[in-house]
Amino acid sequence: MKILIVGASGTIGQAVEANLKAHHEIISANYANGDVKVDLGDPESIRSMFKAVGQVDAVISTAGVAAFSGLDDLTDLDFQTALNNKLMGQINLLRIGKSSINKGGSITLTSGVLSREPMHGSSVISMANGALESFVKAAALEIDSVRFNVVAPVFVKETMAMMGMDTGSGLSANDTAKAYIAAVTGNMHGQTLDAPNYL
């Protein structure tokens, strides 16, 4: 398969690429580098990316920026950035990209467990994740030719270690990648894949 990974330079993106590249042609897309550059906050940039890349069999997004901060510390800009980038960036990847997917292919986005299991400081991220999961479930009802799914990672052990957190409740990036592989190679459509269920 020819697979476009958006956000390929991130911790999860790198692990997904490492798991797929032996058997598939990978095209990496990032904001600042990669085979092709893309700014998810700009629909024109997404259109340019698909024009440059052409038809693919799968798109995987492991991208999306959102603030982790207490409710009273969050600014209007924190909400706008999450909505423009993590939410609408990924939704536009699906809206714009679905015509560039070969029949039977798939688009896999990234939400996170914080939509359903929030914690202090997660309200903006929970908002964006919940929106993505409900959107993908609804969008999948209307389209049969391309499968849409969203992977909900838990905290990634490598990120937790970098932040000085106890990594006990996390999942390694390599283990998290397995949910993305399942979404690309499986038959699910309109599903939220909780990463710990795909080890």
Query: Among residues 31 and 79, whose Cβ is nearest to a second copy?
Result: 79
179 binds a second copy, rule: CB under 8 A = no
Question: Can you tell me whether residue 116 is helix, strand or coil?
Answer: coil
DSSP assignment of 120-143 = TT-HHHHHHHHHHHHHHHHHHTT-
Going residue by residue from 29 to 68, which x/- string records binding to a second copy, judged by CB under 8 A?
--------------x-------------------------
The single residue among 57, 65, 95, 167 that binds a second copy, judged by CB under 8 A, is: 95
The single residue among 63, 66, 83, 193 that binds a second copy, judged by CB under 8 A, is: 83
**In Å, how far are 17, 31, 93, 115, 147 from 139, measured between CA atoms?**
26, 26, 13, 18, 10
Least Cα distance to 12 among 154, 199, 187, 163 occurs for: 154
Q: Which residues contact 141 (CB under 8 A, 6 or more apart)?
A: 190
118 binds a second copy, rule: CB under 8 A = yes
- Output the smallest distance, CB 26 to a second copy, in A: 28
126 binds a second copy, rule: CB under 8 A = yes
Query: Among residues 141 and 162, whose Cβ is nearest to a second copy?
Result: 141
> Cα separation of 24 and 90, whole Å?
23
- Output the smallest distance, CB 194 to a second copy, in A: 15
Stretch that binds a second copy, among 9-17, 21-29, 30-38, 120-128 (CB under 8 A): 120-128
Alpha carbon 123 to chain centroid distance?
18
Q: What backbone torsions phi and psi does residue 160 show, to the nearest 5 degrees?
A: -60, -45
Query: Among residues 130 and 186, whose Cβ is nearest to a second copy?
Result: 130
Q: What backbone torsions phi and psi does residue 79 show, to the nearest 5 degrees?
A: -65, -45
Least Cα distance to 70 among 112, 123, 116 occurs for: 123
14 binds a second copy, rule: CB under 8 A = no
Stretch that binds a second copy, among 34-42, 123-131, 153-161, 181-189 (CB under 8 A): 123-131
Instruction: Using CB under 8 A, list all residues that contact a second copy.
Output: 43, 70-72, 74, 76, 79, 83, 87-88, 91, 95, 114-116, 118-135, 137-139, 141-143
